[in-house]
Amino acid sequence: MLDGLEQAGIAGLEPRDAPGIDPALLELVHPSTLVDHVLAPMGDDERRWIDGDTVMSAGSAEAALRAAGAVCDAIDSVMAGDVDNAFCAVRPPGHHAEPGRAMGFCLFNNVAVGALYARETYGLGRIAVVDFDVHHGNGTQAAFESDGDLFYASTHQWPLYPGTGAAGETGVGNICNVPLAPGSGSRAFRRAMSETVLPALEAFRPDMILLSAGFDAHNDDPLAGLEFRTEDYGWVTAQLVRIAEGLCGGRMVSALEGGYDLQALADSVVAHVGALAGADPA
Ligand SMILES: [Zn+2]
C-alpha cells in the first residue's frame, strides 16, 4: 500500500504516523475485560490465540492501539479542518470485533471506537459507517444496532464468514445490509450502492462518515469471490465523497479492513485514496 501510494504520487497526500490510542477510549465500545486481555503483556516469542483465525504476537497490542489511534487522530485532523479527509492504512482491521469479543483478525473495532470518539469529543449527533469489505462487519453492527444516532451499511458476500448481515437485520432502522451472491461482480456492487446503500446514507443525514474500507472483494483476492475490480473502489469512493460534501462538509475518515492479495490491495488503495483526494475515478 505504502509503495503504491508513493509511486502514484497523489497530489495533496500527506503521510503521517499513527499514534497509539489512550486505552481508556477503547472502553467507549469495549468492556475493560476485553481491553485488558488484548493488552496484557506478552513475551517476545509468545503467541496468544484469540480464536481459530486470530493470533497475537508481541507486537500485536501496539499495532492495535495504533490502528484505533489512527482513526481518532484522523478524526481530530478532519474536525480541526487540518485535512479534508483521511485514509488510515492500519492493521489489525476492526469490523469483526464485537463490543465483548475480539475475532476474525480483529482486536478492537477501530471505526466503532472512532464513531463514539467523534460523538463524545466533538458532540457530533449522527455518525455513519459504510463498509464495502467482502465480509459483513458483525462487530460494528453489534456496537450500533440499538442506537438510532449511529448508522451502519454494508455490502458483503453471502453466504460467507461471519454469517451475519442478512437484509432483514435492520437494528432500530439504522442498519442497512446488502448481501451479494458469489460472482456478483462490479455491476451488482454498483447497483447495491446506488439503489440501496447511498440513498439510505443520505436519508440518515450524517454529521460524519467513516468507511470500513476492505478490499477483499477484489477479483484477485484469495478469500472470497465477489469479483470487484480496482476501478470499483475509485467509483464508490467518489460517490461517498460527493455525499459527504453535500451533507457533512466532506468530513470522512476511511480505515482499512481486509485485503489479502498485496498487488490488488495496493492498486485498490491507490484508487480509493486518489478518489478521496478528489481525483476523477476511472
Ligand atoms: Zn474482509
Query: Residues 8-45: pLDDT tens digits?
Result: 999 999 999 999 999 999 999 999 999 999 999 999 99
- Residue 217 CA to residue 100 CA, distance in Å, equals 27
* Spacing, Cα 249 to ligand 1 middle (Å): 29
Kindly state the helix (H) or strand (E) to which residue 175 belongs, with its residue range.
strand 175-180
**Residues marked as catalytic:** 96
- Give the per-residue pLDDT at 83: 96
Confidence of residue 279 (pLDDT cuts 50, 70, 90): low
Residue 241 has pLDDT above 60, yes or no: yes
Q: For the chain, how many residues are written?
A: 282
- Give the per-residue pLDDT at 238: 97
Closest Cα to residue 85, out of 190, 237, 194? 237
* Spacing, Cα 262 to ligand 1 middle (Å): 14
Q: Which CATH superfamily is domain 2-276 in?
A: Histone deacetylase domain (3.40.800.20)
Residue 280 has pLDDT above 80, yes or no: no
Rounded to the nearest integer, the mean pLDDT of the chain is 97
Q: What share of the chain is helix, strand, coil (3-state, %, to 5)?
A: 40, 15, 45
| Nine-digit cell string for 227 | 469479483
Q: Identify the three-state secondary structure at position 200.
A: helix
- Taking the CA atoms of the chain, what radius of gyration do you get in angstroms? 17
Residue 282 has pLDDT above 80, yes or no: no
- Give the per-residue pLDDT at 30: 98
| Nine-digit cell string for 239 | 460517490
What's the mean pLDDT in 216-238? 97
* Spacing, Cα 49 to ligand 1 middle (Å): 19
